[in-house]
Amino acid sequence: MITTQTDFRAAIFDPQMAVPASLTDGSEQPAGKRFNVYRNNVIVSLKEALSESFPVVTKLIGPQSFANLAGLYVRAHPPCDPRMMLYGAEFPAFLETFQPLQHVGYLADVARLELAQRRAYHAADATPIDPAIFGELPPEALASATVLFAPAMQIVQSSWPVLDIWQFNMTKDAPQPSAAAQNVLIGRPEFDPQMRAMPEGSAELITLLQNRTKLGDALETIEQSHPDFDFSALLGVLLQTGALVALTPSQ
């Protein structure tokens, strides 16, 4: 009998499954002990990778609690891609439904922020736009323009002060988190991702622009629901984080 990859993988991630009978050691004896060592090493390595990817979540609940939680996650969500930089995509949703941690309501959004940071770090390079274009184009050309964002740009919307929570746990002498909800833009102007809190309405505007809505039309839509929307504040964030790569007026 030949062990299939499917059976081998299932046995790795299910500690209750027996060692596949066809697996033997160098002496043609059942490879039970060796397989169990390998199985343990795989799980431990994935748990460590998860902890390194979500350092603030680890700090918030404690290393031991995180290790226990990660063991459950790893067995429920084995890697489906050999690139470990992508592992953990389902972790925020997993936290959201994990009953023992429901009292830590912001935990899933903190995980989303850390996941978005990692995605920004590994995204393709792009050359940021020259800010001078906003002064060179006439108002009607700006209003008709469509916008292209850098692949590294990520948006995290939260009902919690997720950026404040992240900074309080990762930055020395950072202030206590505020009580306000925060939407966060992540960009990568050079080598490392940068995070900025966005003005209210910014996430909705960026979504419209990502869908190729003209800048003037998108601003008009947002100003109907957010009369005090400050586009100049958002533009400053977009330029500082290298999130804008093209502005194309309609022909």
- Write the pLDDT tens digit of every residue in 214-226: 999 999 999 999 9
pLDDT value of position 19:
66
Which of 177 and 4 is assigned the larger pLDDT? Answer: 177
pLDDT (average), residues 115-135: 94
Question: What type of residue is 60?
Answer: L
240: confidence class by pLDDT, cuts 50, 70, 90? very high
Measured CA to CA in angstroms, residue 118 lies from 114, 152, 161, 250 at distances of 6, 10, 19, 34
Q: How many CB atoms lie within 10 A of CB 20?
A: 18
Strands 183-187 and 146-149: unpaired
pLDDT (average), residues 70-76: 92
Residues 6+ apart with CB under 8 A from 98: 69, 72
201: confidence class by pLDDT, cuts 50, 70, 90? very high
DSSP string, 91-127: HHHHHHT-GGGTT-TTHHHHHHHHHHHHHHHHSPP-P
Q: Where do runs of H (alpha helix) occur along the chain?
A: 5-13, 32-53, 55-61, 63-76, 91-96, 107-122, 133-136, 139-144, 162-170, 202-210, 215-225, 231-240
pLDDT value of position 183:
95
**pLDDT surpassing 60 at residue 1:** no
Smallest CA-to-CA distance from 33 within 152, 41, 233, 127 is with 41
Least confident of 19-23, 35-39, 56-60, 129-133: 19-23
Give the whole-angstrom CA distance, residue 45 versus residue 232: 46
Tokens linked to 66:
């995180």
Tokens linked to 65:
């609690």
Compute φ and ψ for 116, nearest 5 degrees. Answer: -65, -40
**pLDDT surpassing 80 at residue 190:** yes
pLDDT value of position 16:
65
| Helix (H) or strand (E) run with residue 195 in it | strand 194-197
| Helix (H) or strand (E) run with residue 155 in it | strand 154-157
| Helix (H) or strand (E) run with residue 185 in it | strand 183-187
pLDDT value of position 37:
73
